[in-house]
Amino acid sequence: MEECKKRVFSAIQPTGSITIGNYIGAVRNMVAMQDEYDCLYAVADLHSLTVDIAPAALRKNTLELAAILMAAGIDPEKSVFFVQSQVHEHAELGWVLNCYAQFGEARRMTQFKDKSAKAPENVNVGLFDYPVLMAADILLYMTDYVPVGKDQVQHLELSRTIAERFNSRNSPTFKVPEAILPKFGQKVRSLSDPTAKMSKSDSDPNGYVLVLDRPEDIARKFKRAVTDSDSKIIYAPDEKPGISNLLTIYSAFAGVDMDESVKRFEGRDYAYLKTTVADAVIEGLRPIREGYEKLMADKDGLLKTLAVGAEKASYIARRTMSKVWRKLGCVRP
Ligand code: TRP
């Protein structure tokens, strides 16, 4: 890793399998940024503790997500790739930064309000504090850029506020991170309701395609995809959300731009569009699925790779924390 490269941090929660929407909108960017930036990528298992998740499920999801990300192209030789809870400094800095985040600021987070409304039986303090832990993730590594989707913009703003507050109360310590707009910004919508975002929490499993779905399931889901009543294949997200969504997915998986995608379907019907998109997705996911299976067949190897990543992350995290403790006046040996 060269010192002159700008540093990027991102993390994904291990809350279950990822959809092709996550793949297109987030993972592809993470993979693409590896050459240009000095990247740190984490599986954010501590964040997942804010929901009621069974230990066996958390463990399974963590390994599964790590394997998917590696199979999709996150290269632990190029980037620092690790599991958040294996680097204890995340929790430590999280605590410190709690004392630099205002209650009123955290209370204004719209994701907190949404999540509390969705699970009123478990509005735990961790859920409230979630964005502060996220700030710790980012600030721990003197991150320059954080690739963020719309839903995380407010959290990144809070991270910046916290960093600036710490720097001005103590002395310049943290780099103030900036959002970076993803190169591939396409949003993927539900196949069964193209006005909604594709999400694995959709009650209709035909609405989303998981990266690990079997080819026959993928084919079926696309066959059922909601379109509209006329028969023109054009890209017009507002008037034709279903067709436009299929074109977006096609363009991502076929690796061609939108103009070229539209051209390829000139004079064709919806049935042809659906099977062609399904085939492109099946083919595009095949190497990921195969890579995933190989990695999961050697759990010890996978655990070792993650441990090496955590060791590399710890090296940076330790240096940050020793500065932080000193600035705070915490007595160290
Ligand atoms: N909260 C993010 C999400 O659910 C995951 C995350 C945790 C994250 N820590 C982060 C993203 C730090 C960016 C930077 O999508």
Active site positions, annotated:
115, 197, 200
Please tell me the predicted confidence (pLDDT) of residue 149: 82
122 vs 58: CA distance, rounded Å: 17
Return the pLDDT at 228: 86
Sign of the dihedral through C-alpha 211, 216, 219, 221: negative
Its pTM stands at 0.94
The answer to whether the beta carbons of residues 41 and 30 sit under 8 Å apart is yes
* DSSP-assigned letter for residue 189: B
pLDDT given for residue 99 in this prediction: 98
DSSP H/E element including 90: helix 89-98
- State the 10-residue block means of pLDDT for the chain, 333 residues long: 83 92 93 96 97 95 98 98 98 98 97 93 96 98 93 95 98 96 82 93 92 97 93 93 96 94 95 97 97 98 98 98 97 92
242 near 212, Cβ under 8 Å?
no
Please tell me the residue having the least CA distance from ligand 1 atom 14.
10
pLDDT at 325: 98
Q: How far is the CA of 307 from the centre of ligand 1 (A)?
A: 20
Query: What angle separates helix 55-71 from helix 270-297, to the nearest 10 degrees?
Result: 110
Q: DSSP letter string over 114-145?
A: HHHHH-GGG--HHHHHHHHHHHHHHHTTT-SE
DSSP string covering 229-295, please? SS------TTT-HHHHHHHHHHHHHHT--HHHHHHHTTT--HHHHHHHHHHHHHHHHHHHHHHHHHH
The answer to whether the Cα torsion of 187, 191, 193, 194 is positive or negative is positive
Ligand 1 is surrounded, with C-beta below 6 A, by: 9-13, 44, 47, 134, 137-138, 146, 152
Tokens 């809350």 correspond to what residue? 15
Strand partners, 252: none
Report CA(126)–ligand 1 centroid distance (Å). Answer: 14
Ligand 1: which of 46, 152, 181 to mutate, most ligand atoms within 8 Å of CB?
152
Ligand 1 atom nearest 9 alpha carbon: 14
Ligand 1 pocket test, pick from 46, 137, 140, 148 with the greatest ligand atom count within 8 Å of Cβ, gives 137
Expressed in angstroms and rounded, the spacing between residue 44 Cα and the centre of ligand 1 is 7
pLDDT at 182: 77
